[in-house]
């Protein structure tokens, strides 16, 4: 049930992001007096619509995007002469660029607000003191930064029966009072060796036995983590946190796009989680990860934080990707407007007439080709997420 709730939360957040994206285009177009005749979420057959003034608002059957219909977006469109003064193509270049960029701006604004909420409302993470167990890892991962992949062995702590909330008293006869002491005690033992682990469980001492595993570049591994304490911060610190995280997520989005060609061969590999293929996902994969987070046996604060970070990261990626100078993305249309204005400026300097708008008939094949490529990659990612999902929490 928790898993399905997580997926539902992600779907609702995705649809909300789409509505905000289109609202950005719509609001700026209205602000500049352009005529917008449709505002729809989704594609395909119309499920519901209502006419308000000159605009039809509605929902379509396929929730895979949305659109705002602004008259005269290109020179290919026939426009009623009475509407031509209010057409998109008849407006100054800076206004057209503002309308086109407003969708991505809404994604960025939403992400920043969510990151602010994480810091000011939920709090920033700090490791708890003592030796209480906050998390029992389910597996021995390939390395400390990768999640569990299919086929990874169970962690020593999980096999030994260590539970969340246990307070570790000693390891291999070495008494420990801090997490640092416990880490030194674990790494001081030989991997593969069975060691006694004494825990305080609800006031009773329980002796368990764990066969320590070996973790690359780490040494002997038990598979426990300390509890996390969340400390809300003030508005100024929250803004600073949101700015730092925003930049890191934006840089990460660029890395994901750059690694996509290398990641495709790994999408269906057994060890996908520990390869570049584990770093890229579709909306199906992101929804699955959100479901995993809500189904995980962790507190509400880490759950809420992870869900908000997933939604913020998705919005930053979509906002940035949409600004790439490729048709039919908004960034491609912005590039066309900038080319038109640069060409008009050069003609003015040379004393020549304005060449006018770009002939979109020449750009249609490029736009169709890029669209087909994006759909193909998207379907491939969806297929990989369905048959070879990445499990970050188990």
Catalogue the active-site residues.
22
**In this structure, what is the dihedral angle of CA atoms 7, 10, 15, 16, given to the nearest 10 degrees?**
140
Q: List beta partners, residue 205.
A: 200
Bridge partners of residue 55, in order along the sequence: 52
Biggest alpha carbon–alpha carbon distance for the chain: 91
Q: Cβ(107)–Cβ(21) under 8 Å?
A: yes
What's phi and psi for 69, nearest 5 deg? -95, 105
Which DSSP state fits 324? S
Give ∠ CA 119-245-63 in degrees, rounded to 5.
Answer: 95
Residue found under tokens 């992600």: 10
Do residues 131 and 179 touch, judged by C-beta distance below 8 A?
Answer: yes
Tokens (6 digits) for 240: 């600073």
Sheet of 204-211, strand order: 174-175, 167-171, 194-201, 204-211
- The per-residue DSSP string of 115-136 comes to HHHIIIII-EEEEPSSSB-SEE
User: How many CB atoms sit inside 10 A of residue 273's CB?
Assistant: 23
DSSP labels for 29-62?
A: HHHTT--EEEEEEEEEEEEEEEEETTEEEEEEEE
Sign of CA dihedral 315, 318, 323, 324: positive
Answer for the pair 295, 3: CB distance below 8 angstroms, yes or no: yes
CA–CA gap between residue 338 and residue 11 (Å, rounded): 35
CB 327 within 8 A of CB 259: no
Helix, strand, or coil (residue 354): coil
């Amino acid at each position: 049930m928790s898993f399905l709730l997580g997926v539902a939360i992600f779907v609702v957040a995705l649809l909300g992001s789409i509505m905000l994206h289109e609202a950005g285009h719509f609001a700026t177009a209205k602000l500049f007096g352009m005529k917008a005749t449709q505002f729809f979420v989704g594609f395909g057959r119309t499920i519901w619509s209502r006419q308000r003034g000159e605009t039809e608002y509605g929902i379509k059957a396929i929730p895979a995007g949305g659109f705002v219909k602004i008259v005269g977006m290109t020179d290919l469109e026939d426009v009623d002469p009475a509407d031509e003064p209010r057409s998109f193509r008849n407006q100054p270049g800076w206004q057209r660029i503002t309308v086109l960029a407003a969708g991505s701006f809404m994604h960025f604004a939403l992400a920043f607000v969510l990151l602010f909420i994480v810091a000011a409302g939920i709090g920033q993470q700090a490791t708890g003191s003592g030796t209480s167990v906050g998390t029992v890892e389910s597996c021995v991962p390939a390395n400390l930064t990768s999640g569990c992949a299919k086929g990874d062995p169970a962690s020593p702590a999980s096999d030994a029966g260590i539970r969340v909330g246990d307070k570790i008293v000693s390891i291999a006869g070495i008494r420990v009072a801090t997490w640092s002491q416990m880490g030194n005690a674990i790494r001081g033992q030989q991997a593969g060796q069975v060691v006694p682990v004494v825990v305080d469980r609800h006031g009773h001492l329980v002796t368990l036995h764990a066969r320590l595993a070996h973790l690359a570049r780490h040494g002997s591994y038990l598979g426990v983590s300390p509890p996390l304490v969340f400390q809300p911060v003030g508005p100024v610190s929250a803004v600073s946190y949101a700015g730092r995280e925003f930049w890191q997520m934006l840089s990460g989005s660029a890395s994901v796009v750059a690694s996509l060609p290398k990641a495709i061969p790994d999408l269906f590999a057994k060890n996908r989680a520990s390869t570049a293929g584990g770093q890229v996902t579709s909306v199906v994969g992101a929804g699955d990860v959100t479901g995993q987070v809500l189904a995980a046996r962790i507190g509400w604060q880490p759950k809420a934080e992870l869900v908000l970070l997933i939604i913020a990261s998705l919005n930053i990626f979509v906002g940035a990707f949409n600004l790439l100078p490729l048709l039919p993305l908004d960034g491609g249309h912005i590039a066309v407007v900038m080319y038109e204005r640069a060409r008009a400026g050069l003609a003015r300097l040379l004393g020549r007439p304005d060449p006018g708008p770009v002939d979109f008939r020449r750009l249609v094949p490029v736009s169709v080709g890029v669209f087909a490529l994006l759909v193909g990659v998207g379907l491939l990612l969806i297929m990989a997420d369905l048959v070879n999902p990445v499990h970050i929490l188990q």
